[in-house]
Chains A and B, each alone.
Chain A
């Protein structure tokens, strides 16, 4: 077919098509590279983190010796001794003192505590010989998970050969607070700390942010002052987060004397941090409501306030919620400002209130990553996995809300 457009059609067209193909290729390549990085990151974290969800026990008979445990005061009983006796009984051939000590070192400190709890719950066990699952220490655990060890631990190999080693899901990781012993360390304290902190942050920043956005967008006169405020809110959103931490330190701790390391203060700091984000998102959502809706309300004699609260705000709400959840996700993952107000301490107890000392998930990650015990490496990765799951869930809720309530005009 002859073509009468352009001067030299074939080369012209070919050029255009190849430009289009090139562009597609660049786009695809960019996407592939980012996906590869993301997949690499996730796979690496999961590979390191998954073993932390498994713990090992040794299942051996333990004699609850009435000589060591008094039925009247079970809690004061010498359970450490019982556990030591039980593990030594498995290896009568070991007599050397150092070797004996090593043998006992295979067990976690938690083993005797678990046993104590079991006997407190059921005092009838005193005098009996029970088969008990005793938690192994971090080093024994790592050895069984196949980590490279300096030397073979013959006793563990023997126990394994006798099928006395059990592996189980490490619920402990979700029910314990922080600990110096890797096999006992859990994220519950940090998780609760995060929830308390974020709850404070959200309950402050959402009403303040939405009120500010509604006022700026719908009621404020457009003059130099509102321009200045607008520019500053946008600037505030770009301020490095550690500055907010310093501000919190100077004002909330030093001026108001609020408790150090408390979720209350962390929440206040994070509220300041996400406030600009929420204001900006809420203003964008309010602006996205067609002015014709507001005009229609004004046209039937609604006051400015009625038009905003009956029509504009409900329509903007899904967008506001999306923005708020994304702000929340940011607050959840924030570390630096919380370091400044002392939420970086080692806190073994699970916090029970807004003024208890606490830490948060990302700070827990930071703390664990710094510890020398090798077992903490996988704990760190596991905590990151939990953090990522929470953030994914928050983003999923944001997307769900947007899809469900989004309106088109």
Chain B
């Protein structure tokens, strides 16, 4: 059944310039009876933005959530195959999920700050992982995370006001600051701009571009323009199959698969 869609295997140029941070081998994910991801293999480079694109329900978010084992919270979800972070399988028995998630941060579709102060939002991660030695240390961490997320200037006078009082774009940057605060190596973003207006979106995209200097970023997006603007590597998903992976600039100009071509030219999806 899977023979109808042979995956196109080429090595994108970006892979020769960067080390491999995440690699998935023959991953299958099931929700109960539903086969959501079929025989997926992909390598994701460090210090670059990789974008997952594809029509709704194609499994791109599902796979993203497999990278930090967020799918574990869904009882009916089953996974086979292997996902490796820096060569180490994250589904091994000796891997602690909590530890893993401190290495692989996540930013969600809808900004979801805790209904606490801005400071507390960012400080929560370092606090539960015991990263800060004392109060000043923690304050420094919060400030530097907010600075990295480009939010510090806007909120420096109201760090102790509620995080839910910020605008949507600010909330999403707060969520990014919260994710950065635990020093992850990888940041997963699940359609981080889908709930934002174009100006806030542009601001987040700029931020993503800055962050890729230091992090491995994987972003799921519905917007092909966004993928083209921010990513270096693009992966196209269709019906649970990873159809094509390639350098972003090549993928959007010369897609190798017919389905990719149809999707990016707007014929379906």
Which residues in window 119-141 of A have CB below 8 A to B? none
Q: Mark A299-312, 1 if CB is under 8 A from B, else 0.
A: 11111001000110
CA distance A296 to B110 in the complex (A): 10
B110's partner among A221, A292, A297, A311 (CB-CB below 8 A) is A292
On chain A, the residues within 8 Å of B252 by CB distance are none
- Enumerate B121-146 residues with CB–CB distance to A below 8 Å: 124-125, 128-129
A290 within 8 A of B: yes
Task: Check B101–A298 contact: CB distance below 8 A.
Answer: yes
User: Is residue A295 within 8 Å, beta carbon to beta carbon, of the partner chain?
Assistant: yes
User: Taking the complex as formed, is B9 at the interface, i.e. its CB lies under 8 A from any CB of chain A?
Assistant: no
- In the complex the two chains form, is A300's CB within 8 Å of B178's CB? yes
Q: Does B231 contact A (CB under 8 A)?
A: no
A299 and B101 contact, CB distance less than 8 A: yes
Choose among A221, A296, A303 the residue that contacts B98 (Cβ–Cβ < 8 A): A303
Q: With the chains together, A298 CA to B105 CA distance in Å?
A: 10
Interface size on A, residues (CB 8 A): 20
Beta-carbon contact of A301 and B102 below 8 Å: yes
A contact patch SS: helix
Q: B90 → chain A, closest Cβ, in Å?
A: 13
Contacts of B182 in A (CB 8 A): 300-301
B260 contacts A by Cβ under 8 Å: no
In the complex, A303→B164 CA distance in Å?
23
* B-chain residues with CB within 8 Å of residue A300 when the two chains form the complex: 101-102, 105, 124-125, 128, 178-179, 181-182
Residues 181-221 of B at the A interface (beta carbon under 8 Å)? 181-182
CB 8 Å contact bits of A396-409 with B (1 = contact, 0 = none)? 00000000000101
- Digitize B225-244: 1 where CB-to-A-CB distance is under 8 Å, 0 elsewhere: 00000000000000000000
Distance, CA A296 to CA B112, complexed state (A): 7
Contact B124 A295 (CB under 8 A): no
B114 with A296: CB separation less than 8 A:
yes
CB-CB < 8 A to B99: which residues of A? 301
The docked-state distance in angstroms from the alpha carbon of A292 to that of B113 is 9
- A75 interface hit (Cβ, 8 Å): no
- Interface residue A72 (Cβ < 8 Å from any Cβ of B): no
B69-111 vs A, Cβ < 8 Å mask (1 yes, 0 no): 0100101000000000000000000000011111001111010
A292 near B128: Cβ-Cβ < 8 Å: no
Q: Which residues of A contact B (CB under 8 A)?
A: 221-222, 290, 292-293, 295-303, 306, 310-311, 315, 407, 409
Interface pairs A-B: 9 shortest CB-CB: A301-B102, A292-B112, A300-B125, A299-B106, A301-B101, A296-B112, A303-B98, A301-B98, A222-B75
B interface with A by C-beta (< 8 Å): 68, 70, 73, 75, 98-102, 105-108, 110, 112-115, 124-125, 128-129, 164, 175, 178-179, 181-182
